[in-house]
Structure 1
Amino acid sequence: MTGATRRRVLLTGASGYVGRAAARALVAMGHEVHALGRTDPAIAGVTFHSADLLGAEPLAPAIAAAGADHLLHLAWSVTPGRFWTDLGNCDWVGASLRLFRAFAESGSRRIVGVGSCAEYAWTGSPLDEVSSPVRPATLYGTAKASLWQMLEALGRQEGLSVAWGRLFFLYGPGEPRGKLVADAIVTLLEGRRFETSPGLQRRDFLHVDDAGRALAGLLASPVTGPVNIASGHCGPVREVIAEVARVTGGAGLVDFGARAMAPGEPAEIAAVVTRLRDEVGFMPEHGLASGIEQAVAWWRAHSGGVE
């Protein structure tokens, strides 16, 4: 991993699913981590500064108190089942730009924002940061793509180092209900049947802790521009569900094909991870088997899989 120098980092979204993983990774790398937001993540080694990113209060005092020169911005509303079309995406574009401006005015050196594979046109898999067209089909993807355009322009104008991590498909401990892997785990742990599509669509899944390490590594590196955050392995969704069934002991409870694929759902969404691997220096630590075992263990420890 590049970037062994200790840095003072401001992190938003630290209490969220990916944010907690990024916070732990940054602390493990030896950085001084300051979380900015409404909820204290209560993570060892992280100093909390209260601020409402969506509010009207000036952000400069909290940013000054943190004294960071690197920003990793993860905060966003990503409620499963809603975030694709949530009008709150518009609010988060505005809030993010306000944050970027305030951080730039504080004398910062580097800003890394977090986007999504939903920014790409999904018709040309595998997707890479250089040649794949950015043509989002949802409000969420459009909001993320637009924010990156503004951040890139801000960096160019103000002489800042800026990068953009595009997350693909994540799973792991603490995944919110309403997401595929979490719902499969909970359903099978409860001994209920899990109805799903045939599962032939191919997706790139990455363990959330690996995603946190990748984002931390990107922030600490000199790499600029968009970078895919993914495993580089694109397999059938059926394989993921089958692994969940194996670990939970629910192999006979999965009904593949009980649900049709959503209209227009792409057959493949694969990531090219050349920049992440060669420039950032990142390689995943978790394979599918160990990752699913961790996720199932987490749900077993949380009321037997019931929130």
Structure 2
Amino acid sequence: MTSIEPAAGGRAPTRLFLTGGSGYVGRNLIRRFVADGVQVVALARSPETIATVSGLGAEPFAGDLFDPALAQGMAGCQALVHAAADTDHGAGVQARLRRINVEGTRAVLAAARTAGVSRVVLISTESVLLDGAPLHDATEDQPYPRHPAGAYSRTKGEAERLALAQSEPGFEVVAVRPRFVWGRDDTTALPQLAGAVRSGAFAWIDGGRYATSTTHVANLCEGVVLALARGQGGQAYFVTDGEPVEFRTFATQLLATQGLTPPDKTVPGGVLRVIATIGDALAALSGGRITGPLSRQVYATSAVEVTLNIAKARATLGYELVVTRAQGLVELEGA
């Protein structure tokens, strides 16, 4: 693992502020930064999240993204890692996602400026590029889509654009884009897959025979550390587990770590695409009162190839894997 080193012309942070600290990515970031000897102040909204971040070694700051005292909580912090987000992939949730993902990012960055924070890393996502079509070996030069797949892609894309546009000397903002975050302590991807298998709702889309990039959570944390230290302001970086893998192969391996075997049942992707499109239209017309069984956002995320090129992160950040897929799967078997 890389320890935090100064960005060009700057200093490594001794104290940083973290949003989303009680989430899956946030918990792992706290562990990583604390292990590196960095003091972490973590935003926490409830007694439960305060207990979570405290137990991991962070100093909690009670409040939310819009707290008027947020800048005071960031006092003395040289850096900010903004990991908080609403990740709902459903339809009819545009207003809620816009408030958290867009306006929340705007509020956090404003507080960081007021507090004198000089380096910001935004945890973004490959979803900012998704529109429902396959994405093959995408680089960071890929333009944002004219018609994002759904509210999550749209609002995370808006948040990333507004954040990177604010980057300037003395207030440098960098975005890190992972894909399919997984690993020990996972409370998102693996539990959802396992729940679908256990309930009998699991089915492969077009047999699951398409490629995907993945990002072990330890590799994401490494990417964040490197982006904080070496990232160029105003730039985004993909971080993944390296070579893509067939979605069916990887999902089967993940489920096997939980003693589960997925069924062979498969459904045509074209049919699901139509269902998702109709469902999103109904949600839009009804103001979210009527939703279908599948959204275009879910389809775009899980039903087609999405593979990313990490040459930029390797060349600019010095990014390399700290955990291989094989190592991560063995770790999950022993968890």
Shared fold (TM-score, shorter chain, > 0.5): yes
* 2:326 corresponds to which of 273, 289, 292: 289
Q: Equivalent residue for 2:157?
A: 145
The answer to whether the 8 Å contact 2:223/2:239 transfers is: yes
Code of the residue aligned with 2:54 in structure 1: it is A
- Deviation of the 1:22 alpha carbon: 1.3
* 1:277 corresponds to which of 314, 322, 327: 314
In structure 1, how many angstroms separate the alpha carbons of the residues matched to 2:194 and 2:329? 9
In structure 2, how many angstroms separate the alpha carbons of the residues matched to 1:99 and 1:244? 35
Q: Equivalent residue for 1:25?
A: 32
* 2:111 corresponds to which of 102, 108, 121: 102
Code of the residue aligned with 2:136 in structure 1: it is S
- Deviation of the 1:186 alpha carbon: 5.8
SS at 2:122's partner residue?
strand
- 1:155 paired with 2:171, answer no
In structure 2, how many angstroms separate the alpha carbons of the residues matched to 1:200 and 1:258? 11
Code of the residue aligned with 1:271 in structure 2: it is L
Q: Equivalent residue for 1:216?
A: 225
- Deviation of the 1:246 alpha carbon: 4.3
- Return closer, same or farther for 1:30/1:203 CA change in 2, 3 Å cut-off: same
- Cα deviations by residue, 1:64-111 (Å, 9 ceiling, x for unpaired): 2xx1011000011224x5489453211111122111011112222111
Q: Equivalent residue for 2:293?
A: none
- Deviation of the 1:257 alpha carbon: 3.3
| Alignment RMSD (CA, Å) | 2.6
* 2:186 corresponds to which of 145, 163, 175: 175
- Deviation of the 1:2 alpha carbon: 6.9
- 1:127 paired with 2:138, answer yes
SS at 2:40's partner residue?
strand
Aligned length: 286
In structure 1, how many angstroms separate the alpha carbons of the residues matched to 2:202 and 2:83? 32
In structure 1, the gaps of 5 or more residues are 299-307
In structure 2, how many angstroms separate the alpha carbons of the residues matched to 1:183 and 1:123? 22
SS at 2:136's partner residue?
coil
SS at 2:153's partner residue?
helix
% identity of equivalent residues: 21
Code of the residue aligned with 1:153 in structure 2: it is A
In structure 2, how many angstroms separate the alpha carbons of the residues matched to 1:49 and 1:15? 12
SS at 1:254's partner residue?
coil
Code of the residue aligned with 1:63 in structure 2: it is M
SS at 1:26's partner residue?
helix
**TM-score for the superposition, normalised by structure 1:** 0.82
Q: Equivalent residue for 1:227?
A: 237
The answer to whether the 8 Å contact 2:34/2:57 transfers is: yes
The answer to whether the 8 Å contact 2:122/2:175 transfers is: yes
